[in-house]
Chain A
């Protein structure tokens, strides 16, 4: 990567600032807020799948866990600062335990996918069956299929009565996404991030070089879960209710589709994929002619068949081919894209 970290920071701040200024002119901040939340969720899987090579079928589990942790803690505490922190920590710890179990057992590929899928299902089934009054955590009733409504939403830290909502909530989410994006960039630029990419490319070689592959994968997995948990808490604040459908397989599927469509191995791709597809779904939801699920499915199939690298890498290579100055660099880039294509395949 040619640019330095400080340049990265400046770009992130500039782009975030411009987008925060421009986007509300185009559509309502209420819609934009959820797009940002989905973008963050997309980024969480984009980090562990695109850079760590861990295909997690249950990213929705961490998203839902974050949302439920926030809701339950907010009801019990009545103030939003600690619940926000818990909503990041609980999924991260859960993912660290789950990841340790999987990676120290040297599970790979399909088995990883199946176990994360199954864990999501277990959570979904469990939460769905907690409708009775005996399922309480502190003062919070889990509510089973109906979910948990009516919890304390985000407030200014220390002032439980000053709620952050509407436009200001949009700004909070946008800035948080910018911060997370920058942290992810910093992580990938650090030696930890580079080694993670190395593990994605060739696990055996990295372990022969003396790196503890299992521990590193576990930590990366937990970091992804922490981001997903934060997105879950933000979603809970936006929707003002949490339901078991956050854990559903459909939700997990959507996250994977966002990453594929946006582009794996990029930071921007999953965010754009998530926001773009969620907005498309929002638009499609306003008509009744064609079923929404059908189109989502079709998009996924077509992308896997014709554009398996995703939009952002395709656009980037198109840009380089059209405007790249030095042919040397172009060849280098093409080679890099090729090797990237190989790990995707």
Chain B
């Protein structure tokens, strides 16, 4: 009985962390069709922003939930103005340019923070269920991921800003004709996407030892999740994160963590082969 509870919590946690690491990319790739291979590095920068802020004496929750997203959002804004806005609509070129950016950020972080592992301790203590110890921080991540999904859904569906953003992504010429500047909307959307990446990196920072190359660990997973999700932003994110998270945890508990990771990747290959347009191209059509 205790074991089942533990496994359930771990599964929820796996799904939640997948949602978290993919949310930023879902906005940037799913909405703007910009393949941001520097997504992992944005997360890495979010982690470093948190750790730096905490070391300067800022409250850890403030650093994670407010400072890191803003810092990374601004970095994303600068990137968008300097590089990415010249490449909208050129899929392969954005992919290559952002790959260059990711290497650039890795180099930058190595120069500033050094090639050593840094970290902070988790702010929430663990507790026990029967014979098992559970990390209390996992619940925090589940809650953040849940709130994130609800927040994104609300903003996109029921605010004017979300409506304008969605409209501009669909038909930028119509948005321009109605008096909105697509250039600015793209800029703002990219800011939001980067801020989400920063938030994810910050929230996950206490769980991992941070090195400048940490981003590489996230990028493949987040990509798989977003692409397998398909055209609908939030439904896709939720279903594919759910699917991959569960596959990962089942194999982790049954065999070993490494096999769990490999199983996730194999599942992704099989899924893409069967549903090349993603899950939501077939199910939940037309939902947000």
Binary interface profile of A, 295-309, with partner B (CB < 8 Å = 1, else 0)? 111111110110010
The answer to whether the Cβ of B191 comes within 8 Å of any Cβ in the partner chain is: no
Residue B224 interfacial (CB < 8 Å)? yes
Q: 1/0 contact trace for B218-242 toward A, CB 8 Å?
A: 0010011001000000000000000
Contact B261 A345, beta carbon cutoff 8 Å: no
Q: Which of B110, B111, B269 has the most CB of A within 10 A?
A: B269
Q: B107 on the interface (CB 8 Å rule)?
A: yes
Nearest-Cβ distance from residue A52 to partner chain B, whole angstroms: 14
The answer to whether B103 and A253 touch across the interface, beta carbons within 8 angstroms, is yes
Q: Which of B256-275 contact A (CB under 8 A)?
A: 258, 261-262, 265-266, 268-269, 272-273
Most chain B Cβ neighbours within 10 Å, of A114, A125, A290, A344: A114
From B4-12, B84-92, B156-164, the one touching the partner chain is B84-92
* Residues 202-217 of B at the A interface (beta carbon under 8 Å): 216
B265–A121 touching, CB < 8 Å: yes
Given the complex of chains A and B, what is the CA–CA distance between A236 and B106 in angstroms?
A: 27
- Selecting from B43-51, B93-101, B116-124, B175-183, the interface stretch reads B93-101
Do A121 and B107 form a contact, CB below 8 Å, given A107-B276, A110-B227, A308-B93? Answer: no
Cβ contact of B276, chosen from A111, A253, A297, A308, cutoff 8 A: A111
Tell me the bound Cα distance from A304 to B90 in angstroms.
Answer: 11
**Contact B273–A293 (Cβ < 8 Å):** no
Per-position contact with B for A90-105: 1 when CB-CB < 8 Å, else 0? 0000000000011001
Q: How far is the CA of A126 from the CA of B92 in the complex (A)?
A: 29
A301:B83 contact, CB within 8 angstroms:
yes
Residue A189 lies at the interface, judged by CB distance under 8 Å to chain B: no
Interface size class of A (residues with CB under 8 A): 35 or more
Smallest CB separation, B100 vs chain A (Å): 3
Asked whether A111 lies within 8 Å of B227 as measured between CB atoms, the reply is: yes
Describe B's contact surface by its main secondary structure.
helix
Cβ–Cβ contact B97 & A295, under 8 A: no
Q: Is the CB of B103 within 8 A of A294?
A: yes
**Residues in chain A near residue B99, CB distance under 8 A:** 253, 256-257, 297, 300
Query: How close is A252's CB to chain B, nearest CB, in angstroms?
Result: 10
In the complex with contacts A125-B262, A297-B101, A297-B103, A304-B272 CB distance below 8 A: no
Question: Do B97 and A300 touch across chains, with their CB atoms under 8 A apart?
Answer: yes
Q: Which of A55, A102, A301, A345 contacts B104 (CB 8 A)?
A: A301
Q: Which of A125, A129, A292, A301 makes the CB contact (< 8 A) with B100?
A: A301
5 CB-based A-B contacts, threshold 8 Å? A106-B276, A109-B91, A122-B265, A301-B83, A304-B97
Nearest 7 A/B pairs, CB to CB: A294-B107, A300-B100, A297-B103, A297-B104, A293-B107, A291-B107, A301-B100
Identify the B interface with A (CB < 8 A).
Answer: 35, 83, 86-87, 90-93, 95-97, 99-108, 110-111, 216, 220, 223-224, 227, 258, 261-262, 265-266, 268-269, 272-273, 276
The residues of A with any CB-CB pair to B shorter than 8 Å are: 55, 101-102, 105-107, 109-111, 113-115, 117-119, 121-122, 125-126, 129, 249, 253, 256-257, 260, 290-302, 304-305, 308, 344-345
Besides A122-B265, A290-B111, A294-B106, 4 new A-B residue pairs in contact (Cβ under 8 A), listed by A number: A105-B276, A293-B107, A297-B105, A300-B99
